[in-house]
Structure 1
Amino acid sequence: MCGIHLIWGQGASEEAIDEMLEKSKHRGPDQRASCDPWPGLWIGVNRLRIIHTGPEADQPFYAPDRQSMLVWNGEIYNHSELRQQLIAMGITFNTESDTEVVLHLLRMFGPLGLEKLHGMFTLIYADLTDKSLLIARDKNGEKPLYFAQGNETLLISSECRSIQSFKKSDFNPKQLEPYFYLRAPGLGKTFFKKIQEVKPGAITKVHNPHSIHWKTFSYQSNLIEKPSYQTFKKTLQNAVIRQFHADVPVGMLLSGGADSSLLYALWYKETGKSLPCYTVQVEHKYQKKYADGDAAKRFSHEFPIRHHLVDVSQKIFWENWDDYVRSIDQPIGDSAGFLNWLIAKEAKKSVKVLISGAGSDELWGGYQRHKAFAFYKKNKAILLRSKGFLNKIPLGRSYHKFVAGINPNGQNTFLNYSALEKLPDSLADKYHKIFDPNLEDYRQMLDFDRRVYLVQDVLKIQDNALMAHSIEGRSPYLDETMQLLWRNVTDEGLLKGKPWIKSYLTELGLSWISKRPKMGFGLPLKEWFAENGEFSKRVFSSLQAFEKTHGEFFPPEMRSMCVNPQPAVKNHFLTLYNLFLLAEWVKLHKL
């Protein structure tokens, strides 16, 4: 794990790249370096040493002939197999690092080498012979990468704040609408006008800083074995062994739910080695509803773990809030970000890698919106005819969100189920192009979650929160072999409610976990707001101040909520928190 940075063109200097490095030193405190491969270009890296921790694998990493070099951020889980292939081609290795494997792979195969990588990465590969750069981001979007391009200069960085240190960019109010409804700026956008995010799977070869054109690299699509429960088991077992490997201490984000519990159970079953595990424990009065701590404690009686309960209360929240907001590179409307950050703050005392269950729900149909859409799809005609009547039935918030979201267009319906508030048609239209028309309706929705919600929310908050404390996050359910299996599953029933995951838990004697109701991972916001105490007062005050300074840019519903937050507490408490986070971040950065 690292931070990578580039300045090419006017203003490029050692002092400027050093400032970018300083802004992201948390991403790689183990090593910091920069170089100028040719006049007008400076490249820098902050390294977090995970594989081959000695200085021999430090970056920038040069080829033996000094004609090419690499800086990158990530982990390659099939680097051992690739190393053997390269050795058979006559390559001699001087380290055990995956860095050296990536360098030689790009030397030998160019951009096609990226298709062979199973892992997470962003990279800048410089060919000194023709003075060109190869820049790429992994297909899952597990590692962030941003760029800003002007007439004279190209800037690349793992974080927006580093680009901002070189050239300030104004606040981008157009991203307020997607944030309000879908928790994040639009795909490829940021809250800075001149800074864009490199999309997952994007690649470009650049010969000058004035022209940059992104393409998408392909991936393997054919599975040797037919998808089956046995294939799933074997594939996940192998993914766990690969992704739990590191040359530094590894721990686990353990929620007590199906996904993380299965990963740890497989690890212990295969190795017999216990690992540190970290679980959030809310205040006693809320533990019945937010029961992750209790579930994880029960799990620890069945599989030996070194268990750490990380307490969270309003007092702890406020003690850490300012530091958390300062750590955020781009705000994402999800209180799980704070919880991940709080866990990482404790975990950094013992580990440098944390494993999570991220990606399982998106791929295998684990969210309530997947269940809701499947029901809508099956009963679409009668639901559309009965919507007026259904609206009159006095049931709870979830029921009314389901009914309100029903739309003749299936994509709009899923967007409504995904959003915190029902989307305006104009915003929904912008997201239609992301859906893959080559897939069946239900599969389209899973693929949309994989490409949008997973990238824009789950993976982004994981990277930001963990890297703020210099910890690498890994997600075995997103292993390339697991995704290859997923892409070849044709039975839609296997993509609803995570049946293979639940079957595997039952096989391991953990049926009680597979039967646990799905719980969102987040702060007890509804309960904190209901107390009508300091939490509500501080949130409301911040939102009202935000409206006074930026309200002219707000969508109407957002502006109304900020002017008078109290009525929104009952049904829109998640949105209130998200707006509070954004307001505090904007105030901190004086945008």
Structure 2
Amino acid sequence: MCGIHLIWGKGANKESIDVLLAAGRHRGPDQEASLSPWPGLWVGVNRLKIKHPGPEADQPFWSPDGNYFLIWNGEIYNFQSLGKQLQMMGVTLLTKSDTEVLMHWLRIFGNKGLETIEGMYSLILVNLIEKSILVARDKNGEKPLYFSQDPDRLIISSDARGIHKIKKTTIDPDQFGYYFYLRTPLPGKTLFKGVREWKANRNSWIHQHSTFRWDTIATKINKEPNPSISTFREELQIAVDRQFQADVPVGIQLSGGADSALLYALWYQQSGIKLQAYTIQTEEKYRKKYSDGIAAARFLSQMPADHQLLEVNQQSFLSNWEDYLQSIDVPVGDSAGFLTWMIGKEAKKTVKVLVSGAGADELWGGYRRHQAFDFYLKNKKVLLSLRQVLQKLPLGREGQKFFSSIRSDSRRTFLNFEALRPVPHELAEDFERLFQAKEISYTDALDFDRQNYLVQDILRIQDSALMAHGIEGRAPYLDERMIKLQKSVGDPEVLKGKPWIKSCLRDLDLAWIADRKKTGFGLPLAEWFREDGPFSQRAFQSIKAFEKTQGQDFPKEMRDLARNPESGVKNHFLILYNLFLLADWLKLQES
């Protein structure tokens, strides 16, 4: 893991690249460098040493002839096989690092070489002969990358705040509505005006004063038309074996749920090696509902690990809140971000890599919204005809959300299921182009989740919360082999409720985890807001102050709730947390 930075054009100088390096220093505390390969271009890198931690693999990493160098952020999981191919071509490798392999692979094959790379990355390859750069971000969007381009200058960085500081941009209030309904800015945007997200699976060769010509990275699908559960387990075992490996200590975020439990069980059964494991535990009075700590302890009686339970309460939350906000460059309205940050704070004492179950729900249909959408598709006509009547019944929070969300347009319906509240028409239109068809199937919905929610929420949280502490996050369910296998599944029933994951757990004598009710990963927000304790008092104060200063830029529903946050305690506690987060984060940007 690293931070990478580039300024090309007006204002490219040592002072400017130092601003970007300072913003990204938490991403790579082990090594830092900057240089100007030709007038008008400066690049910089912050390195976190995971593979080949010696200085021989420091960045920028130069080709032997001095014509190319690479700066990048990520891990290449098939670098050993690529390295063997390079050696057969006559390339001499001087290190055991994926950095050297990646540099040579791209030097020889250019952006077409990205098709055979299996890993997570954002990268910049500099060609000094042609005075051009190759910029790319991995297929899943596991590693962040941001940019700003105008006629005189291109700025690229792993951290949006550095670009914001150089450009002296303002906050973009047009993003408040997207954040309110969908937890994040519009895909491709940030909360800083003029600072954009380099989208996942995009690459471009850029020459001076040229505009981007986006290319996507082709994925070859598994030739097996209908893979079996045995194939799934074999491929997941391979993903575990290669993603649990590093030249530094590795640990796991263990929720006590199916996804992380299966990963660790496969690792421990194969290797017999105990790893560090970290689990969040709530206050004792909430543990019947939020039982991750209890479940994780039971699991580890079968699959031993060096386990740490990290208790989070209102006092520990408030004492760490400002430090957490300081670490965020693009806020995500999801309390899992704070919990992941707390795990990283403790884990950095012992490990430099943390594995998680991220991606399993999006690929294999693990969320309640997937069940709801499947039910909607099977009963669409009846549900639409009865919606007005059923919506008036006392159905509870989830029932009301379901019936207020359904529309005749299946795209709009799934977007509403993913959102915290039904999305207004003018905002929802911006998401329609992300769907592959006007009427979408269940598998289309999973693809949308993987390309949108997974990238904008889950992976952004994992990267920013862990990199704040200099820890690399990994997600074996998003291994290239697993993505190809999931795309080759012909039977949609396999993609509903994670049946293969649960079956593998049963085979490992972990049926009780497979049958455990999914609770989600987050703070006990409903309980904290109801208590009228220090958490809710601080949150309400921040939200109301936010509305007074910037409420004129809010959508109507957002402003109504911000004016009277107490009214949302019962049904809108998730949105209240998000408003609290946004309000306090914006206050820090202004200070």
- TM-score between the two structures when normalised by the length of structure 1: 0.99
The yes-or-no answer on 1:33 pairing with 2:21 is: no
My pick for the range that moved more, 520-529 or 535-544, is 535-544
Q: Equivalent residues in 2 for 1:15-414 (5 A)?
A: 15-224=15-224, 226-414=226-414
Q: 1:190–1:563: structure 2 CA closer, same or farther, 3 Å change rule?
A: same
Distance 2:438 2:106 in 1: 32
State yes or no: 1:474 paired with 2:440: no
3-state SS, counterpart of residue 350 of structure 2: coil
- SS, match of residue 37 in structure 1: strand
Q: Which residue number corresponds to residue 520 of structure 1? A: 520
Partner of 1:449: 449
**Counterpart Cα distance in 2 of 1:378 and 1:488:** 23
2:221 alignment partner AA: S
Q: Distance in 2 between matches of 1:110 and 1:23?
A: 29
Residue 481 of structure 1 aligns to which amino acid in structure 2?
R
Distance 1:286 1:222 in 2: 45
Answering whether residue 563 of structure 2 is matched by residue 563 of structure 1, we say yes
Contact 1:355 1:474 in 2 (8 A): yes
Structure 1 CA distance for aligned equivalents of residues 491 and 420 of structure 2: 30
Instruction: Determine the C-alpha separation between the residues in 1 that align with 2:190 and 2:484.
Output: 30
Q: In structure 2, what residue type is equivalent to 1:257?
A: G
Q: Report the Cα offset of residue 217 of structure 1.
A: 2.1
Q: Distance in 1 between matches of 2:288 and 2:91?
A: 58
Equivalent-residue separation in structure 2 for 1:254 and 1:409 (angstroms): 38
Higher mean C-alpha deviation, range 166-175 or range 446-455: 166-175
How far residue 224 of structure 1 moved from its aligned partner, in angstroms, is 4.7
In 1, Cα distance between equivalents of 2:506 and 2:426: 45
Aligned residues: 591
Q: In terms of mean alpha carbon deviation, does 19-28 or 436-445 score higher? A: 436-445
* Cα distance between partner residues in 1 of 2:140 and 2:23: 25
Are the equivalent residues in 1 in contact too, given 2:226–2:490 (CA < 8 A)?
Answer: no
Runs of 4+ that moved beyond 4 A: none
Change (3 A) 1:95 1:278: same
**Cα distance, 1:395 vs structure 2:** 2.1
- Cα distance in 2, alignment partners of residues 226 and 85 from structure 1: 30
1:536 aligns with 2:536: yes
Q: Which moved more, 1:224-233 or 1:535-544?
A: 224-233
CA contact (8 A) 1:239 1:482 kept: yes
AA in 2 matched with 1:41: L
CA apart distance, 1:54:
0.3
What is the Cα deviation at residue 565 of structure 1? 0.7
Once the 2 structures are TM-superposed, how far is the Cα of residue 119 of structure 1 from its aligned partner? 0.4
Q: Percent identity?
A: 57
Say which SS state the counterpart of residue 521 (structure 1) adopts: coil
What per-residue deviation string (whole Å, max 9, x for no partner) do you get for residues 474-526 of structure 1? Answer: 00000000000001101000000000000000000000000001111000010
| Offset, 1:413 | 0.9
Contact 2:157 2:163 in 1 (8 A): yes
Q: Is the 8 A contact 2:28 2:48 kept in 1?
A: yes
Matched AA of 2:470: S
How far apart are the structure 2 equivalents of 1:438 and 1:5?
Answer: 39
Give CA deviations for 1:162-183 in whole Å, capped at 9, x if unaligned: 1123221111111111100000
- Supply the distance in 2 between the matched residues of 1:230 and 1:340 (Cα, whole angstroms): 32
**Aligned equivalents of 2:151 and 2:204: distance in 1?**
18
1:571 & 1:209 partners in 2: Cα distance? 51
Distance in 1 (alpha carbons) for counterparts of 2:164 and 2:190: 12
* Cα RMSD, aligned residues only: 1.1
- Structure 1 SS opposite 2:583: helix
1:152–1:210 contact (8 Å) kept in structure 2: no
Q: Distance in 2 between matches of 1:35 and 1:60?
A: 9
- Name the SS of the counterpart of 2:37 in structure 1: coil
C-alpha deviation, 1:416, in angstroms: 1.0
Distance 1:549 1:482 in 2: 47
Verify the 8 A CA contact 1:149 1:210 in the aligned structure 2. Answer: no
C-alpha separation in 1, matches of 2:209 and 2:299: 53
- 1:130-186 residue CA offsets vs partner (Å, 9 max, x unmatched): 100000000100000000112211100000111123221111111111100000001
What SS does the corresponding residue of 1:341 show, helix, strand or coil? helix
Partner of 2:509: 509
Distance 1:234 1:309 in 2: 31
Superimposed CA distance per residue, residues 328-377 of structure 1 (whole angstroms, 9 cap, x where no aligned partner): 11110000000000000000000000000000000000000000000010
Q: Distance in 1 between matches of 2:332 and 2:236?
A: 29
**1:541-570 Cα deviation digits (max 9, x unpaired):** 111111111111100000011111111110
CA contact (8 A) 1:27 1:468 kept: yes
Contact kept in structure 2, 1:506 and 1:514, CA below 8 Å? yes
Can you give the 5+ residue segments of structure 1 that lack an aligned partner in the other structure?
none
How many Å apart are 1:459 and its aligned residue? 0.2
For residues 440 and 381 of structure 1, the distance between their equivalents in structure 2, rounded to whole angstroms, comes to: 15
- Alpha-carbon distance between aligned partners in 2 of 1:401 and 1:226, rounded to the nearest angstrom: 35
Decide which moves more: 239-248 or 425-434.
425-434
Q: CA deviation at 1:211?
A: 2.5
One-letter amino acid of the structure 2 residue matched with residue 329 of structure 1: D
Distance between the aligned counterparts of 2:445 and 2:225, measured in 1?
A: 26
SS in 2 for 1:262: helix
SS of 1:561's equivalent?
helix
Cα gap change, 1:446 to 1:198, in 2 (>3 Å): same
Q: Residues of 1 paired with 2:345 and 2:570: CA distance?
A: 32
Would you say the 8 A contact 2:411–2:438 is kept in 1? no
> Secondary structure at 1:570's aligned position in 2?
coil
- CA deviation vs aligned residue, 1:38-67 (integer Å, no higher than 9, x gap): 111010000000000000000000000000
Q: What SS does the aligned partner of 2:248 have?
A: coil
Task: Give the SS at the match of 2:572.
Answer: helix
Instruction: Assess if the C-alpha contact under 8 Å between 2:410 and 2:439 holds in 1.
Output: no
1:438, distance to aligned residue in structure 2 (A): 9.6
Q: Distance in 1 between matches of 2:533 and 2:503?
A: 44
1:390 Cα offset (Å): 1.2
TM-score, with structure 2 as normaliser: 0.99
Output the CA distance in 1 between the equivalents of 2:209 and 2:197. 17
| Per-residue deviation, 1:469 | 0.2
Structure 2: gaps spanning 5 or more residues: none
1:22 Cα deviation after fit: 1.4
Amino acid at match of 1:502: K
